[in-house]
Chains A and B, each alone.
Chain A
């Protein structure tokens, strides 16, 4: 298995633009998580899905952020409009569901200028 695949690895965009981050979880993993990592706030859980259904989105910072999981093999995190304070590394992770450790993707470093 190629692991959790995220794209793009790096994204630089201008303030106000729409940004879409993509994630392909490991086949057979039923849970998918989006985290944001910054120096100030560390690793923050944004949202997680179980069997493609959003279970908890309480970590999504505001309405500018949205996430979807249309099928078991694909998820997106969208920011519209983007702001400089959204600059961070965004990780996608998956696990077989339940109380298991995560397999993380390599992350997307987002820079909003």
Chain B
């Protein structure tokens, strides 16, 4: 069974600064994918970034990047040059060969102007 843990219920960052959101996961599978989703106040869930477990290179998408530590089962999200529009709930998620995505409890990110 998969589990995903986000230990930070809330985080805040100053506009233009960098923030890192933490996530740990557990799975018995060797083939799996990890994701970060963003849920702004509009409640729309938006896929931010995706990491294949077999790839050592960390995924990046513009200002968003991950630090994937496979041995430690850690998958953190770094947001650079934070913007007011980045304020949202961020969910870490795991998907394995069961084809079911399991989500963490989420981290609420506040961005201060």
Asked if B90 is an interface residue, CB under 8 A from chain A, the answer is no
Which A92-106 residues have C-beta < 8 A from chain B? 93, 97-104, 106
In contact, B47 and A102 (Cβ under 8 angstroms): yes
In contact, B95 and A99 (Cβ under 8 angstroms): yes
Which A8-54 residues have C-beta < 8 A from chain B? 31, 33, 42-43, 45, 48, 50
Number of interface residues of A (CB under 8 A): 23
In contact, B43 and A45 (Cβ under 8 angstroms): no
Q: A43-B91, A89-B43, A101-B47 are in contact. Are A48 and B103 (CB under 8 A)?
A: no
Where the two chains meet, the residues of B that have a C-beta atom closer than 8 Å to any C-beta of A are 31-33, 35, 37, 42-47, 50, 52, 91, 95-106
Where the two chains meet, the residues of A that have a C-beta atom closer than 8 Å to any C-beta of B are 31, 33, 42-43, 45, 48, 50, 55-56, 89, 91, 93, 97-104, 106-107, 109
